[in-house]
């Protein structure tokens, strides 16, 4: 297990800066979720941690080692992708075993590891099947087992559940949380789904355009957003934001020196309705 630190990380593709001076600490043993809109730099950040992309500048540390220029195979990190990338002609057993054969792990040890891991992820009865004979959730578990069998220091998972239907996704979320508790290994999990982030992470990093907006616990993210972006990204439905124009119209004197006022939907109570220009308007009372 190990803490991961990104220090002043910049990543440019040609002239495009896609990660801009990122500083973050992923605590040892945490379930850290990186969340943010499409294109904000989540996968690029994960790929730099795994060593599949090199930062333009800055440093990446795993524990006491600076790994910025270390090749992926030496980082002791396992990565699970959105498309499970299983070998279609190999059985589940062979898929899980593949990385171990490459690492020249002796046969008896390989067999006991496969047994142990397939038991944990519930694949014991499916070891002789090929990927096309499995459901989406089972395939996802093979991808996990293949990562787990290498006993990495860190798991990084890039939107691993987005190909599954809503019910299975819910089930796999719970299974991943259990798995994390059981293994105690650092998990870094990427999603663009804030509900997934809030329900799974013990630390959340919200990115926008390659810049950290907030790094916090789910509770603080929800109840104490640092800025308007976080307030509008987190929560279903999200916080209501009144800007200066609204405030000048409805509450000109109450909030004289503020730029924005936000309130959660659950803090508003509808106390009356009136008709204005043919539309029904609700009047609400807000508890700040």
Ligand X SMILES: Nc1ncnc2c1ncn2[C@@H]1O[C@H](COP(=O)(O)OP(=O)(O)OP(=O)(O)O)[C@@H](O)[C@H]1O
Should residue 45 be labelled a site residue for Mg ion when binding is judged by CB under 5 A? no
In the complex, minimum distance from the CB of residue 96 to Mg ion, in angstroms, rounded to a whole number: 25
Should residue 191 be labelled a site residue for Mg ion when binding is judged by CB under 5 A? no
> Across the chain, how many H-helices and E-strands are there?
9, 14
- Asked if residue 238 lies in contact with residue 232, where contact means CB atoms within 8 angstroms, the answer is yes
In the complex, minimum distance from the CB of residue 257 to ligand X, in angstroms, rounded to a whole number: 36
Binding footprint of ligand X, residue count (CB under 6 A) = 11
Nearer to ligand X among residue 4 and residue 18 (C-beta): 18
In the complex, minimum distance from the CB of residue 186 to ligand X, in angstroms, rounded to a whole number: 20
Find the binder of ligand X among 30, 32, 43, 95 (CB under 6 A): 43
Name 19's bridge partners: 11
In the complex, minimum distance from the CB of residue 50 to Mg ion, in angstroms, rounded to a whole number: 13
Give the span between the Cα atoms of 170 and 190, in whole angstroms: 16
Should residue 194 be labelled a site residue for ligand X when binding is judged by CB under 6 A? no
Find the binder of Mg ion among 43, 118, 194, 203 (CB under 5 A): 43
Nearer to Mg ion among residue 96 and residue 205 (C-beta): 205
In the complex, minimum distance from the CB of residue 164 to ligand X, in angstroms, rounded to a whole number: 16
Nearest to 159 by CA among 182, 189, 115, 120: 189
Q: Is 91 helix (H, G, I), strand (E, B) or coil?
A: coil
String of b and e for 137-162 (b: at least 16 CB within 10 Å)? bbbbbbbbbbbbbbebbbbbbbbbbe
Find the binder of ligand X among 2, 4, 18, 231 (CB under 6 A): 18
Strands 31-35 and 186-191: parallel
Q: Is the peptide bond before 237 cis (omega within 30 degrees of 0)?
A: yes
Should residue 42 be labelled a site residue for ligand X when binding is judged by CB under 6 A? yes
Should residue 40 be labelled a site residue for ligand X when binding is judged by CB under 6 A? yes
Should residue 41 be labelled a site residue for ligand X when binding is judged by CB under 6 A? yes
* Chain contacts with Mg ion (rule: CB under 5 A): 43
């Amino acid at each position: 297990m190990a803490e991961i630190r990104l220090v002043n990380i910049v990543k440019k593709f040609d002239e495009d800066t896609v990660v801009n001076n990122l500083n973050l600490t992923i605590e040892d043993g945490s379930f850290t979720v990186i969340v943010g809109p499409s294109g904000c730099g989540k996968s690029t950040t994960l790929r730099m941690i795994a060593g599949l992309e090199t930062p333009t500048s800055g440093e990446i540390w795993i524990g006491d080692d600076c790994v910025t220029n270390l090749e992926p195979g030496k980082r002791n990190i396992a990565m699970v992708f959105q498309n499970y990338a299983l070998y279609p002609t190999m059985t589940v057993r062979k898929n899980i075993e593949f990385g171990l054969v490459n690492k020249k792990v002796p046969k008896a040890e390989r067999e006991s590891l496969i047994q142990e891991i397939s038991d944990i992820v519930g694949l014991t009865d499916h070891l002789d099947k090929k990927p096309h004979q499995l459901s989406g959730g089972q395939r996802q578990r093979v991808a996990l087992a293949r990562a787990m069998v290498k006993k990495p220091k860190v798991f990084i998972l890039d939107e691993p559940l987005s190909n599954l239907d809503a019910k299975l996704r819910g089930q796999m979320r719970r299974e991943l949380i259990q798995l994390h508790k059981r293994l105690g290994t650092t998990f870094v999990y990427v999603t663009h789904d804030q509900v997934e982030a809030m329900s799974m992470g013990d630390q959340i990093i919200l990115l926008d355009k390659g810049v950290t907006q907030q790094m916090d616990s789910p509770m603080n993210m929800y109840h104490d957003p640092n800025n308007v972006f976080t307030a509008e990204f987190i929560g279903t439905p999200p916080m209501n934001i009144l800007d200066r124009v609204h405030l000048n119209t409805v509450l000109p004197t109450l909030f004289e020196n503020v730029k924005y006022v936000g309130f959660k939907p659950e803090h508003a109570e509808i106390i009356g309705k009136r008709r204005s220009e043919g539309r029904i308007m609700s009047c609400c009372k807000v508890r700040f």
